[in-house]
Chains A and B, each alone.
Chain A
Amino acid sequence: MEFGPFLLLALMEGLVTAAVLALTASGLSLVFGIMRVVNVAHGAFFMLGAVLAWFTAQWVPGPPAVAFAVALIVCPLIVGAIAALADTAILKRLNYEPEATIVATIGLLYILEQAALSLFGPDARPVPAPFNIRLQLPWFGYSGYKLAVVAAAIIVLLGVWLILKHTRAGLVMRATQIDRDTARAFGINVDRVYAGVFAMGAGLAAIAAVLIVPIQQAHYLMGGDPLLLSFIVVIIGGLGSLRGTLVAALLIGLSDGVISTFFAPTLAKIIATLVVALVLVFRPQGLFGTRTT
């Protein structure tokens, strides 16, 4: 293949990565932005979404599209419920003290991975795509499903944005973000908001996982990379800024597609992690955020 089409392919792959990453990272960003919680178990929620999608595909009869549709609705709900439970049972009791919360979510990560290993097994398992359309471009054929993933991610993110900006639930969340105590004084049930936000964050990761699992296969350790990449995206985009997160996801996703096509993926990851560390040290507001003093 010539360079031009090769680059186009790399960019399209990068777009798929970016879309899924944007979903996953916006969940992490939402939780950090509103609750100030760094959720290390976020990748485990992602993995849980994928593993549950596999179970759904096993249990729901009929064509793959039906099972997939069911998974797309049920898996985020289940994962969200687990997250809400974890929030109420653990994080709330820690009073969201930052360091204790991180340690607790590390524990949660171990527990969820172990649960997946015990119930799902150590093997990677495929989930059939809901449809198989191949788009024939002049230079190469491309999976129509991958493009559908991009479209779906955009729709979901638009939905999240609408909820945050234009609904009462969104208003309540933003009020809680600004000042927890004042929100409580105004009769907002902060505990419920937190549980809801934590569930929503995990649910977003689960949606991303359900979307990606026909491409990537489900595996109990698959949460590591999305977690790391989400961290990178959220930090480079500016902690807690949803818009920054989206821009960074696009940037990282596209460059990941391009870089890992041309360079060794390990080297790309080394550079990315170092960049994140240095951004946190020298520009904690993120590359796109503005400094507030």
Chain B
Amino acid sequence: MLSILKKKRCCGQEDEIQSDLERIILVGNPNVGKSVIFNHFSDSYAIVSNYPGTTVSISKGKGRIDGKEYNIIDTPGMYSLLPITEEERVSQSYLFDNDPFVYVHVVDAKNIQRMLPLTLQLIEAEVPLILVLNMMDEATERSIEINASRLEQELGVPVICTTSIKGEGLDKLEEAISKYSFQHVDSKVVYSRGVEYAIESISSLIQDEYGISKRTLAQLLLQNDKVAFENISQKGEDVDAIKKIIDGTEKEYNNPLNYVLTIERQAFVNDIVENVMTTRKRDVTLTEDVEKSSRTSLRERIDGLLIHPVTGIPILILVLYFGLYKFVGGFAAGTVVDYLEGTLFGEMINPWVVESFNAAVPYPVIQDLFVGEYGILTQAVTYAIALIMPLVGAFFIVFSIIEDTGYLPRLAMLIDRAFKKMGMSGRAVIPMVLGFGCSTMATMVTRTLETKRERIITSMLLSLAIPCSAQLGVILGILSFSGKALFIWAIVICLELVLVGYLSSKVLPGASPSFFMEMPPLRLPKLSNVLIKTYSRMQWYFLEVLPLFVVASVLIWIGRLTGVFELAVQLFSYPSQWIGLPAEAGVMFLFGFFRRDFGAAGLFDMYNAGLLSDINIVVAAITLTLFMPCIAQFMVTVKERGVKIALGMAAFIFPSAFAVGFVVNYVLTTFGVVL
């Protein structure tokens, strides 16, 4: 396990790779296991989960197959060569520009009827191709048999059967790749006369060479694909003549051409499937099969409970209670952090570090930078390791388990109706839940949402009201002194979330989003995958968080030397006092700018020092939760949504956080609420 961790590089980064190596590109529908195969063959790691759309950008790595080194590339899932969402477009553009050694098309074996159309499209595109029938175990469980050699004959490309998650068949795939050599295969699909005529006439007009065959390019053009048109107009083809052919063909058919092509292509797929796939009647005389079918029906029963609103909502509450409150809030924020921060760092490591540093470096200014009250070692490193690491780690363990079971799409389905009221579709539940771990990561995942309006609302709510795990852990830890306090905090945050969501769905122009999602089968999470995924996310988080903490320490040090820090604290002391907090709380909000959790940790310190009354704590926790996102999240919001929208959000969030804090403080003190 550790050796795997060591050799893997961090995920999610589109590194520059050596261009002289031959490339192997993994393509296929979402949630078929491309990333598992990628992780097996390459030296880098792509996150694997059980829901469609885990991979949103291209991952690259190097891998050795039969002694030869290749660049291996994992692409976001796509349903057909004609893309709809942003991440599908990423994959499609790869086909136009690349000349790889081979494409490995991964499909879900039990669903070949639905996935072979893309295989036929790739064959038509005349690209080098190997077909992988993955998840053979699930097909067998459903008594589906596939004659792979027959399929190989029908298609004319190598076909390999695998169960990648168990490592089965990957050696055969390796062999197939090492032996592969491109052979021309004729298209398997013959369309109706009008379409074939149009394809021929368009092909004869295309002069230049492209990464895909003229036949495929002509089909994309017939279906009015934007990128295809951009490509041909860049190369100076006769766009007008081509458009004329398309117009003429469209008039010949009653239905849109993409509909016509899809239906006609499917007819060929159905013929092939009929020849190669048989579904056996369940034979229950064998004990093994009894076991298997009872496992399937247990899975179905659990699934039924999860998706039924009467049982599903209590289950959701249980998951939140045990996963978030008990494990992250209780165990990690309580037991682990107490030990690490209080005992290990507070009593053992830090006093020793301070002492030895002071002895070695006798200059007070430098001492202050490294081991002072806000020093790099005493504050930045201590916070990052003793406070943030256990919280984020605990959350990602829970989240990894949940996403590997396939629970998230079911949650999306349960919550769609409620989310529609806030201008989002159920799909947005994935970034929202992830936001409880790291809102920065979650803001990146909003890419999988279909409309711009939905993406804006989701990133707005993530910035405003979703506390990240570090912040949440600290806040839960502090508020645990009173159930009432926790309740007030939760209610105010929920109300703000719903209200702002509702208002922005009324204010923002555009159509309300539609919800359409594939629900993958429930699966048992694999421990090794949960661990490696948590590790990879923690690594990403650390690379991002620790430098910021250090920068914060340095900035505070400079600020204190020059007096700017005092001024800023004073500036923040006014809004702090408006909401009933002592002036010293200004420090906390200033820290909140650097990181949300940093601010919450400041709150934790003030609470320990006994500077805050009970009502103060609730008000401070609410204001901090609603306050500005951390710098990292703000930067990502700028990158994904643009400067104008990000600044607009900030302009709303800043005053509204204090306004809500003011109201809550006013109400609680006026009515003399005792917590």
The answer to whether A and B belong to the same complex is no
Residues of B near any A CB (own CB < 8 A): none
